[in-house]
Each structure stands twice: as structure tokens, then as C-alpha cells.
Chain A
Amino acid sequence: MHELPVTESILEIALRHGAEAGAVRISAIHLVIGQLSSIIDDSVQFYWDMISEGTLAEGAELRFRRIPAVFLCSDCEKAYKPEGEDFSCPRCGGTRVKLTSGNEFQVEAIEVETDDAS
């Protein structure tokens, strides 16, 4: 359970880029989380509400985009989402497989409000 340091990192990234953009408020944070990144959304949200208080990002909406794990079989070149505990290829039974997505752990974008001075 390391949701607190993860949430602190998300806040740090959002505030740094928000300040650079001259934001008066950060309204949303878009997160991309692969299936193999063990993070609990509700827990991040819980910490977020606490630690974002009083910052530019207070009340910002956290949007989680989950990416399923996809493997590619090196033997028969089938791309598949593993089912159950066995990650081997469902077509040929091969075990020489590569993960092509599911490892993501990113702040994809933030939405900020700026005063339009022009």
C-alpha cells in the first residue's frame, strides 16, 4: 500500500505544471494506470482530498484510465489479454511472451483554468 507517496507525486507534478501554465485553478488530472501497476483508485482519491486542500488543485477531479495487460506471443505472434493466472499464449500455449501494454503509470494531462488577460 503506497498510495500516499503516489498521491503526493501526482500532486507535485500537477502543481509544478499548473504553476508553469499560470493556472488559477487545476480542475482535472488525467491518470493512465496499467493493469499491472498495483494502485487502488479509491485510496488515491481519499488521500487526494486530504493533501490537495488549500492548493491550486483542491477539488480537482481525478480521472483514471485503466489499460489492460496485453501480451504478444513470440512464437505465433498472437496478441492477447491474459485470462486467469496463467499468462501463457492461449493459442499455441507458448511461454515466450512479451508485455506490450499494462505497465503504464503516468499523469497523462492536467486541465487548468487561467485568467484570460487578453
Chain B
Amino acid sequence: MGREAVVTKRIPLKEKILSANDRLALENRKLFDEAGVLAMNLMASPGAGKTSLIEHTIRALSENNRLAVIDGDIATSIDADRAEAAGAVAVQINTGGDCHLDANMLRGALAELSLAEIDLLLVENVGNLICPASFQLGTHKTVLIASVPEGSDKPYKYPVMYRGVDALVVNKIDLLPYVDFDMPYFQRGVEILNPGLACFVLSCKTGEGLDAWLDWVRNEIEARRQGSR
């Protein structure tokens, strides 16, 4: 017929859809490890108290540690300004509409920091309980900040986020007398999804429970120092 036959074939791949992001996340991790930085990714819904927790953490730990904050937001530098006022080096990422940080955005922001001069890097993700869970950043620890006014059904509604984190903060417990928050129901949901999860029940407003959180962060920084020696 003089015409080349077209052959159709199936190529098996089994490649993770976000593999490009995962690769960049590994590169970020390498940068952290080479510089001896402990990096944490803080995730939460909008208004749960990420920035307040970061402010408390900076004030409590700055005396003995060098802290930096990278803030992800759709717009404004309000959060980075607050972190800076509390005493940390801060870099703002404006995602311009994206609902999460990804490894590539983080890498861009890392270029603005002298990692060798940092002990603890707190990455404040965009306020959202869905998308940030899918995008690894290369941080060593992921922390979810829940808050009492959000309601106790959140582990059941956002299982992927609750399943994937290394620590959980439950903020605003000063409001427990005023809202319907069923703590046993909440904790049961967490236990099913993430058994044995480190959990810190606290109030950034009154300071109740903050010490346990700060001790955990101090221990993690110390463990990283020991490990990198």
C-alpha cells in the first residue's frame, strides 16, 4: 500500500502523578540537611492560629536558636510581618491564587535565606485542609493546627490531612466552654487515622498548654543537632 502502518501500544508507567514535586521536595530536604536546619511545614484551615502559634514559638525559642519563617499566602505580607516583628527572619511567598505551597515555590523562597545561619525553619502553608496535604515540601515534620471553633468533626471530613501529619496542635481551648466541641469524638477520629499522633492541646490566647508544644519543638531541634554531628 506504500503507507506505514501505525502501531498502537500500551506503555506501563506506574508513575506517581506528583513525582516532579516529590523530586523537588527531596532536593529541598537535602538543602536543609546540608545546612543542619530543622524544617517544619505548618498546615491548618484559615484562622486556626498558625501565625499566633508561630509568634509564640519565635518568642520562646529565639534566645537559644536562630529562627526563620516562610509564609505562604494568596496575597499580602501580613503574616511575614508578624513573624518578623516577633523576632524571626521572614520571607513571604504570594501564591497568586494557588491554594497550597509546592516544593518549587518553597525552593524559590529558600534562595532568599542563609540556611547555614538557621536552626529552625517554620513554613506556614496556605490556610486550607485539602490541597497542602498532597504536596510534599521536603520538610522534616508536618504539623496540623486545628482549633476548637472549627468543630470536632474535622478528622472525619479531612482524613487525608489528619492521616499525613507528624504532630497535631488543638488551639483555642479557652473557647471550649462556649462552643460545642466534642473532644472524645475528635480524638477518636484522630486515633483511627493516625494512631499515636503527638497531640498538643493548647491556647495561644492564654498560654495554657504551650509549654508541651515548645518542649517538643526544642527536642526536635536538639535531635537534629545530635544527628547532624
Contacts and interface: CB of A to CB of B under 8 A. Distances in A.
B17 A21 contact: no
A97 B159 CA distance: 13
Given A38-B130, A87-B193, A9 B6 contact: no
A17 B12 CA distance: 10
Given A111-B8, A116-B6, A9 B18 contact: yes
Nearest to A108: B14
Contacts of B10: 109-111
Interface string A63-104: 000000000000000000000011110000001110100000
Contacts of A96: 195
Given A106-B17, A109-B11, A97 B4 contact: no
Interface residues of B, number: 38
Interface in B165-213: 188-189, 191-193, 195
Interface in A20-38: 21, 24, 27, 31, 36-38
Grouping DSSP codes into helix (H, G, I), strand (E, B) and loop, the A interface class, with mixed when no group exceeds half, is mixed
A110 B11 contact: yes
Given A1-B131, A9-B20, A36-B160, A113 B13 contact: no
B9 A13 contact: no
Interface in B4-34: 4-21
B130 to A, nearest CB: 6
Contacts of B115: none
B18 A87 contact: no
| A interface, size bucket | 35 or more
B9 A114 contact: yes
Contacts, number: 105
Nearest to B190: A95
A7 to B, nearest CB: 9
Given A1-B99, A106-B14, A112-B8, A36 B21 contact: no
Contact of A9 (B19, B98, B159, B195): B19
Given A1-B131, A2-B134, A85-B156, A13 B99 contact: no
Interface in A31-67: 31, 36-38
Contacts of A97: 192
Given A6-B17, A13-B13, A87-B159, 5 more contacts: A1-B99, A38-B134, A87-B193, A106-B13, A111-B11
Interface of A: 1-2, 5-6, 9-10, 12-13, 17, 21, 24, 27, 31, 36-38, 85-88, 95-97, 99, 105-117
Interface of B: 4-21, 98-100, 102, 130-131, 134-135, 153, 156-157, 159-160, 163, 188-189, 191-193, 195
9 contacts: A1-B131, A9-B19, A12-B20, A13-B15, A107-B17, A108-B14, A109-B10, A110-B13, A113-B6
Question: 9 shortest A-B CB distances, which residue pairs?
Answer: A85-B156, A116-B5, A2-B131, A116-B7, A95-B192, A109-B12, A115-B4, A87-B192, A113-B6
